[in-house]
Structure 1
């Protein structure tokens, strides 16, 4: 039998687990930990009465690990080694080792916290930090501490922070296995600058052709997603002879038989090129692989708690993931890994993938906690706590679905949801629909929504009814995908105990989907395809979509655009169906609001379901605070220009602004600038809006009183003293002061009226001289000054000479300080000049 690097460490592993209940095992890719450690544990005395459970994050990995172990033992799967995954299981009466997906194990653990018949749990590829993996370890540790002190827990990974995991596991040992099966050479093919202007699949195809031309052996190619795999497959099939080369996709949507084609040697002896997603990073040995071509990209789910939606983004792999991919080339022979990036770029790679708990939809996590009876994640042994905002959003959804009580523990309905083993939305949909006699239809829809869309490449067809037709028909869709969805639907029907309905009611699809997505009920607004969701967000369809003119939709899938999400899957919904299923949530409220179009306050009675207005009728406009608040909102929207300003009111504001500029905040003068007034409408204007309900009514608003009310009696008295509206000049006239520039109030007065005045008039208790605009008889400025005495002494004679020429009939004395001031051409009884 082929020897694996891990074999030399197995005695140490057995000794450690004989002495302690917990172990952390670190071994590089290709060391053999997945297939060699579980069988070795069967010889331990503590394992005699129980099974070894090997946890895998993916169905493909669980199946492949079981098949590989059975092959090495010379047995068929289902004898000593078996597996359990969704929709498939191979377990026999002699099975001692079970390769199980982590999600299924959580179901087992929730149903049997003592884990009767289980001797050890092995957490494989724990470095991936899946949400299910983190939670499974935390719950297993609680089970071990409270119910099963004899239970062994073994955490395994090729790239693992042993210290952090060891601190999490009480009384644990650690083992590090060095070496790998075969050496792997790494070659970087990327632009040293890190620029990538081509499509990634085009660069991958070029690298594949280069690699297989230069080297022997099969190739494993990592691409970010299914779309890139399809394009790369088509390009390679055009360039390579099918008689010599088999180009095989490998991803989670493939049926098991097609996945096996990629894992095993080609039956016709052809060279294999396997095009895979990150599903092939770990726990897989693909026979014949000597070459790895790594695009360096992967799909990452990102949940946005503000929208309640998850979308896939394409991002760079971590260095740990890149090393896992590299390790696929050294499983059965020496290999070469081609990386489509430069060594310089690699230095910027993150060391590890971020834990899924930090970016995932936490609704399944919160339901698992509630079903376990835990209300505080901080009490669990988690490497990273769940973020507060996504957890709160998840619990809000679960409360809305009736899954959690006020203490965040699972209700009986919530426990039944958890047992279904799918997203809480879909579990709730199936349970409620079963009670309504639509159980078979809901299982079809749950399967459709859990798998890849049957309709490919159509951006203008979001109608779920078309998907149901394809599911129950024989043409128009990928047969493998259809059969996979049918198997999933049948499995849920069996679990729920409902019979297949071969002629489901298409008209009920919207009502069924609405049960799963109450926060995504959509009401049409405006033109075709424009919708408002019940969570308050906007959403849209293409105008050509068959659903674009429906009044209501139940939306199952949409992207996470924060402004206006694009609807991918939906079904029509009627008002009667909404009222029937959400009666307890519908409320009637009086809505008083400003209507910008009619520029008036409107009062309506609205029947609302969260952000949706199901029905409205006009009410007689009431009085009171709500109307005033709506009018304030209207004024704020229209701007201050809607108020009845007059020159006198503007002058009042300017005088206040002048004194604020002179005295600063200490003076106590209010800020009457546009921004401050607009911001504080509720404080200064609202008390004067009684009886005003439309823009036209503002003409009768006492705006002067509203502004003056901001001054107490002391400020009002000081205002007239420090910033008077007029100044008396020597001629006896009262001249208005212009305060439009707070830094320089202006007194514009005819020069003749200032004869005899020695000093410049001053404001603000004598602190600020006015800026004198001395005018000609025609009221044109002839001098601007703040120093009148200086003007009489130094500038008057020149101005006098000029004015005598222009205005000969007027009196221009030699000594202005001794002359009589006048508002006329000449003082009464004065001689000719």
Structure 2
């Protein structure tokens, strides 16, 4: 092992002691301290490591491969001996390998295969501050394994910028070990671009300034490959100083070009490395003394509202900006140009959000189901999965047949998890294999994974079929563009993976998700790594030539997409827009080749506004929809009461989610449907649509009077309650009702009366009578509506001799009397008749005697005879 001292050496004794004593530790070490390569080699000889291996988890492929190569060189060996690596599509390990550098998805696959990780003594999570979904998941699974299965399994979390306290707390108070690192001073220069200036021009100006002002190589941080290509083109076209090389660095580049970017520049030359966030940590780009930071990052945001993810360009956080700045001081003093102002710098968020809080959680939910966890709270998390996105993920997995109704993983779901693809694409491959469409499905999966190819070469047209045909045609051809070569190589790997899974072989760790995947530069391997078994070829269903082959391809492309994105199957509306199964609207660009298709299977649609723009799709035959998605097509028989025509209108509707595939009149609706239609109309429009008579309304008012008095001993028959409970009180009377005449024949009076017991009916007549008997012998109607209810209107002469106001409602409520003149005009309103006779009557008498002199107006109304005539018999 090399004797070159590194800052991390000072804390390795403390780290060894912590791991020996507690089995866990958190190592905080600044960039350049040597933690990634020195720590695993230093721990390999510990007594507790005897006969066991170390798994070093690196978030990025390039960093994983570089770390393995460097550690092997320190031992004077080649990669694959004591030190090796595993990643998707590339594995260098042997029987003597003791340190295996793995990418994040690989660790998840290994834990799923062997939860106890037998033979592994230590798992190291490097650069944990990046907080990828797989890193958080891997730590949660490994921690549970340590708690339940392997208390001797040691866990070490390493980072340069991570706040160590929360992760130490998660690991039951793991010791925190801190190394200062070896950093040279870095000057920070703020140089924002001008308003509305394209990013590439701002970067071009900063690069030229840096080259003219400083020595050494320049590392430029850009959000993605698209921006890298634009800056590269602008710098190259404008001419660079002699001896300056341009070197792009992003995950999709071939290995040789990645190595060219990170290796030292040839003697007498320097480099301008145009990189994504891949160069933020783990990697040292030799010779860099200047960093130019665009301050931007590319991230995938998931929307629980639409169930879709979209790539966005966002402002980098403070921790990311500091990591980037530190790249300039790894080997010598440097300078960092930040392409934003100091005012903007003060507004930066402190930390980059964990991927857990922004990503599509369907892969996580499938992994947890395969692990046997019924819910995320069965594991310990630094940041738990957010409930809404996780619920949406579970809903999708049920739609993909990966989970049953109890959220347990199905056999199909286990096969999906074994493939190591996103659940959507894994489901598509498995369904395609059943139909003999393995090869085009693998090509389509590769195509949908490779975002750089998605808009090439078809421009802005959304049709996937042409792209798929290019990938299938590229298989075995040498002279194809790099982008197409990469997709074709990936497609061949998925064919092999699908073949191994069909044979029921062991899950191959290399077939795991990884953010920086690129296929190997050479031809596809003839056998699956680590098995020695020949991978049988998957015979594609598309094997004929000419127009027939194209027709078959056109037919299967949409079907395959529909397997992966069943929630995004869409039907064309009359206006040319589309309605997706999930209820969302979407539309194509004007003159898109798919614009006349009745059905589409949509692979990508943006998440902007109420209606998204369809970016990638294929036509779907209606016949294929009915054949392969029949289980999700439902036939609904419904009926509605048409208030205008007074009839029930019944329909038969065939639906696929929010899409109505067929709708036609139902000639023979069932009695139950008709009843439900009438009840629905009452609930929606109220009881006013029923055949109310005055008698029925009067009964309703009397019942409500007693209901208000009796503290609910009497039924609530208000319009609102009747509408809400029609199924209880009205439904029994709707048998045979089909049209308006049938409805009008209903007696609401009898229906309401039947709500009462026999004793209640008697009590109703006593305590809420319809009429009041007055001394004249007349029956005066009692009204129960209005603010003065109950009230009765009676001529004054008819109540002579009535000393007290009549009381009803169990003697609690006086009837308000509207006393009328002989011409039935109001003269007085009172609820206290005795007081009226004693005080007000004599003033009223004077007025009435003047206007009605022939009528009888006694001086003593309490002793007078009541009459309905002008005068009582015998009176003059």
Q: Sort the TM-score into its range (normalised by shorter chain).
A: 0.7 to 0.9
Cα offset, 1:104, TM superposition: 2.9
Q: Does 1:541 align with 2:587?
A: yes
Task: Show structure 2 runs of 5+ residues with no match.
Answer: 475-479, 499-536, 544-548
Shift, 1:323, TM fit: 4.7
For 1:428, the equivalent position in structure 2 comes to 427
Q: 2:691, 2:744 within 8 Å by CA — same for their partners in 1?
A: yes
**Higher mean C-alpha displacement, 61-70 vs 25-34:** 61-70
C-alpha contact (below 8 Å) 1:529/1:549 kept by paired residues: no
Q: Cα–Cα, structure 1 residues 830 and 473, in superposed 2: closer, same or farther, change >3 Å?
A: farther
- Give the Cα–Cα distance (whole angstroms) in 2 for the partners of residues 315 and 731 of structure 1: 90
Alignment CA distance shift 1:559-1:41 (3 Å):
same
Q: How far apart are the structure 2 equivalents of 1:470 and 1:450?
A: 16
Q: 2:684 matched to which residue of 1?
A: 637
- Given the superposition, is the C-alpha separation of residues 415 and 705 from structure 1 closer, same or farther in structure 2, using an over 3 Å criterion? same
Residue 569 of structure 1 aligns to a residue in which SS?
A: strand
Instruction: Find the residue that maps to 1:724 and give its secondary structure.
Output: coil
Change (3 A) 1:297 1:434: closer
Matching residue of 1:302? 302
Name the TM-score, length of structure 1 as normaliser: 0.78
Of 176, 179, 183, the residue aligned with 1:177 is: 179
Q: Is the 8 A contact 1:605 1:618 kept in 2?
A: yes
**1:26 aligned to 2:28?**
yes
Count residues with an aligned counterpart: 812
Look up the match of 1:331: 330
Equivalent position of 1:129 in the other structure: 131
More displaced stretch, 560-569 vs 19-28: 560-569
Residue 605 to residue 735, structure 1, CA distance change in 2 (3 Å):
same
Residue matched to 2:696: 649
Contact persistence 1:594–1:633 (CA under 8 A):
yes
1:191-590 matches, within 5 Å, as 229=227, 243=240, 252=251, 272=272, 274=274, 276=276, 278-287=277-286, 288=288, 290-291=290-291, 293=293, 295=295, 299=299, 301-302=301-302, 304=304, 308-311=307-310, 320-321=319-320, 323-332=322-331, 333-336=333-336, 349=349, 353-354=353-354, 356=356, 360-369=359-368, 371=370, 394=393, 397-398=396-397, 401=400, 403=402, 413-452=412-451, 454-455=454-455, 462-468=462-468, 481-496=483-498, 497-498=537-538, 505-523=553-571, 527-533=575-581, 537-542=583-588, 544=590, 546-547=593-594, 550-558=597-605, 567-582=614-629, 585=631
Q: State the SS of the aligned residue for 1:418.
A: helix
Q: For 2:86 and 2:839, how far apart are their aligned partners in 1?
A: 107
Do 2:133 and 2:355's aligned partners in 1 also have CA atoms closer than 8 Å?
Answer: yes
Aligned partners of 2:246, 2:686: CA distance in 1, in Å?
Answer: 67
Please show how residues 666-677 of structure 1 align to structure 2 within 5 Å: 668-677=713-722
* Cα-to-partner distance string for 1:732-759 (whole Å, 9 max, x where unaligned): 4333333223664333344454455444
Instruction: Identify the residue that residue 193 of structure 1 maps to in structure 2.
Output: none
The 3 A distance-change label for structure 1 pair 546 and 264 is same
Equivalent residue for 1:773, pick from 818, 823, 833: 818
The change in CA–CA distance for 1:206 and 1:440 in structure 2 (over 3 A counts) is closer
Superposition deviation, residue 102 in structure 1: 0.9
Write out aligned runs for 1:801-816 (5 A): none
CA contact (8 A) 1:631 1:693 kept: no
Change (3 A) 1:100 1:738: same
Q: Distance in 1 between matches of 2:235 and 2:870?
A: 104
> Contact 1:804/1:812 (CA < 8 Å) preserved in 2?
yes
Deviation at 1:632, TM superposition (A): 1.4
Deviation, structure 1 residue 239:
14
Q: Is contact 2:249–2:273 with CA below 8 Å preserved after alignment?
A: no
CA distance in 2, matches of 1:64, 1:661: 83
Structure 1 segment 719-758 matched on structure 2, within 5 A: 719-741=764-786, 744-758=789-803
**Residue 507 of structure 2 corresponds to which residue in structure 1?**
none
Could you say if the C-alpha distance between residues 689 and 405 of structure 1 is closer, same or farther in structure 2, counting changes exceeding 3 Å?
Answer: closer
Return the offset for 1:593: 3.6
Does the Cα contact within 8 Å between 1:746 and 1:771 map onto a contact in 2? yes
Q: Is the 8 A contact 2:56 2:123 kept in 1?
A: yes
1:684 to 729, 734, 738: 729
TM-superposed deviation, 1:422: 1.0
- Residue of structure 1 equivalent to 2:757: 712
Provide TM-score, normalisation by structure 2: 0.75
Contact 1:21 1:171 in 2 (8 A): no
Report the alpha carbon displacement of residue 816 of structure 1 after superposing the two structures with TM.
Answer: 5.2
- Give, in angstroms, the shift of residue 355 of structure 1: 6.4
Q: Say if 2:187 and 2:336, in contact at 8 Å, map to a contact too.
A: yes
Q: Does 1:101 align with 2:111?
A: no
Task: Tell me the C-alpha RMSD between the 2 structures.
Answer: 5.3
> Structure 1 residue 684: deviation in Å?
1.6
**How far does the alpha carbon of each residue in 1:610-653 deviate from its partner, in whole angstroms, 9 at most, with x for none?**
77666666555355545423431232223322222233322222
Pick closer, same or farther for the CA change 1:649–1:251 going to 2, 3 Å: farther
Distance 1:180 1:733, change over 3 A: farther
CA deviation profile, 1:691-730 (whole Å, cap 9, x unmatched)? 2245664322322233233333333323222222222344
In 2, Cα distance between the equivalents of 1:63 and 1:321? Answer: 23
- Seen in structure 2, the aligned counterparts of structure 1 residues 398 and 297 have a Cα distance that, compared at 3 Å, is closer
CA distance in 1, matches of 2:313, 2:816: 67
Could you tell me whether the CA contact under 8 Å between 1:211 and 1:291 is conserved in 2? no
* Cross-structure match for 1:194: none
Q: Offset at 1:3?
A: 5.9
